[in-house]
Amino acid sequence: PILPTDLYLLSRPVSYLEVRREITDRKKHAVSLRLSVSEQICMNLAGDDKVACEELTLGKLNSIRMGTVSQKILSRSGDDLRIEWGYFYLTGEGKTFTFADEAGMNFVGIESDLKPMNLFTFAYDDVESIEYFHTHLKSYWNRNGALITDEIVKAHADYKATLRRCHELADRMFIDAVRAGGEKYAELLELAFRQVIAAHKLVLDENGEVLFISKECYSNGCAATVDVSYPSIPLFLLYNPELVKGMMRPIYRYVRSEGWVYDFAPHDVGCYPLLNGQAYGDELERQMPVEECGNMLIMETAVAVATGSTAFADEHMDLLENWVKYLIENGRDPENQLCTDDFAGHFAHNANLSIKAIMGIASYGYCARMLGMQEVADSYFAKAREMAGEWVRMADDGDHYRLTFDKSGTWSQKYNLVWDKLLGFGIFPESVARKEIAYYLHKQNRYGLPLDSRRQWTKSDWIVWSATLADDRK
């Protein structure tokens, strides 16, 4: 039950399986269910360690616990790795058991005679979740020492109420999405909802503030990555902007430490689950200066708009000022540097990256205006408009705008332009988006719009952002 507005339920690591029995031939039947889970759920690879199993009685419920013997808590970080500490619990009304298959893999299980409705839970207590600047943090749900066994009992007791709340959110999201973009758009959001939230851990820092830490999956395992947060924020801006703040806090903390030596925003804060400093590489050529400065400025302003408050931005205006100055100096015509689309290669004079810089500058101006700093706001909006005018001239390629300023006959999705529309900046002429959309319609492939003119590769998030630039649904 991942309800973004309920941080307790969002982080409580108990999942439900409801099984219903329905007789269709009017005869009597003896029906039973047997569930089993392998040792792989509590170690990196089967056979890496020995497991210990324990049967527990939780009131009317029977539960069986399984975990590794070694319990190497927060012992290593990486990408294609699975948790090798903590304990898995399988719980329900029935008889618990253990067994090993012919290959010696261990299993825990539960067997139950089925009633018309039966409820089972799968729970995982990771004991400690994140190492945050060399301090171990527990998950949000057990920040005050709550026991997983108590949470399992609560989960069984509150199932109907929790399920009702889940249905209410699902219905609301679908209706809102249909109104915004139609039924197909709503289905896309339904598919994306769990995926966007999934690879995050919710904890509190030493000051009791929310940290919502992402993990890059099948990339390099980086944690709290700025350009992973950036495409995910629309969901959280709608349903709980505090989680966007939770994505940004590790970055601010890192930049204020002695470990960060640059005048631009970092890419990440570690390799999951160890957040002790950037894992992406300290070398300058491994950084994403324009990308991450633009992302942080845009996210900060989006949070201020979503919450109607600049309190969070006010805490970090000194860093935001450094980053906006960096964008003014380096964002007009970016040098050869990495960006979030680096899987397709990186290059100099990236037109879409330049848009991000301009949106970052406008975002700072918007924040300054909300803070009552009107002269500052006017100067940054003026700078953004000046740069946008130059961008239109440098990127113009007839019926569209270029991938890079120096290469005619190229094109790319200008998805970063979406903030000019969503936040009402009015920095770029409306004709820019119209020209781009008209051009994209002639570049559509069977499964969508390519990222740019170099390959057939694409990203579904950027397609949706680009589509948002259109004037109408059709």
Report CA dihedral (273, 459, 432, 387) to the nearest 10 degrees: 30
- Alpha helices (H) in 315-472, listed in sequence order: 317-330, 351-370, 374-395, 418-422, 430-440, 460-468
**What is the phi/psi pair of residue 396, to 5°?**
-60, 130
Count the neighbouring beta carbons within 10 Å of the beta carbon of residue 347.
18
User: Which element (helix H / strand E) includes 123?
Assistant: strand 117-125
CA–CA separation, 154 vs 1, rounded Å?
A: 13
The 8-class DSSP code of residue 119 comes to: E
Is-cis flag, bond preceding 450, omega within 30? no
pLDDT for residue 345 = 78
Distances from the Cα of 397 to the Cα of 299, 391, 438, 463, angstroms: 30, 12, 14, 21
Q: Is 210 helix (H, G, I), strand (E, B) or coil?
A: strand
Task: Using DSSP bridges, classify how beta strands 135-137 and 210-214 pair: parallel, antiparallel or unpaired.
Answer: unpaired
Tens place of pLDDT for every residue, the chain, 474 residues?
999 999 999 999 999 999 999 999 999 999 999 999 999 999 999 999 999 999 999 999 999 999 999 999 999 999 999 999 999 999 999 999 999 999 999 999 999 999 999 999 999 999 999 999 999 999 999 999 999 999 999 999 999 999 999 999 999 999 999 999 999 999 999 999 999 999 899 999 999 999 999 999 888 899 999 999 999 999 999 999 999 999 999 999 999 999 999 999 999 999 999 999 998 777 788 899 999 999 999 999 999 999 999 999 999 999 999 999 999 999 999 999 989 988 877 889 999 999 999 999 999 999 999 999 999 999 999 999 999 999 999 999 999 999 999 999 999 999 999 999 999 999 999 999 999 999 999 999 998 999 999 999 999 999 999 999 999 888
DSSP per-residue codes, 390-429: HHHHHHB-SSSB-SBTT-TT--B--GGGHHHHHTT---S-
Q: pLDDT digits over 2-28, tens only?
A: 999 999 999 999 999 999 999 999 999
Local structure of 139: helix, strand or coil: strand
Buried b (16+ CB within 10 A) or exposed e, 302-312: bbbbbbeebeb
How high is the pLDDT of residue 43? 95
Longest dimension (CA), the chain: 81
Q: Is residue 392 within 8 Å of residue 434, measured between CB atoms?
A: no
Q: How far is it, in rounded angstroms, from Cα 166 to Cα 152? A: 18
Nearest to 55 by CA among 129, 153, 149: 149
Burial tier of 417 (Cβ tally within 10 Å: 0-12, 13-18, 19+): buried
d(CA 247, CA 108) in angstroms, rounded, equals 36
Round to whole Å and give the CA distance between 33 and 93: 11
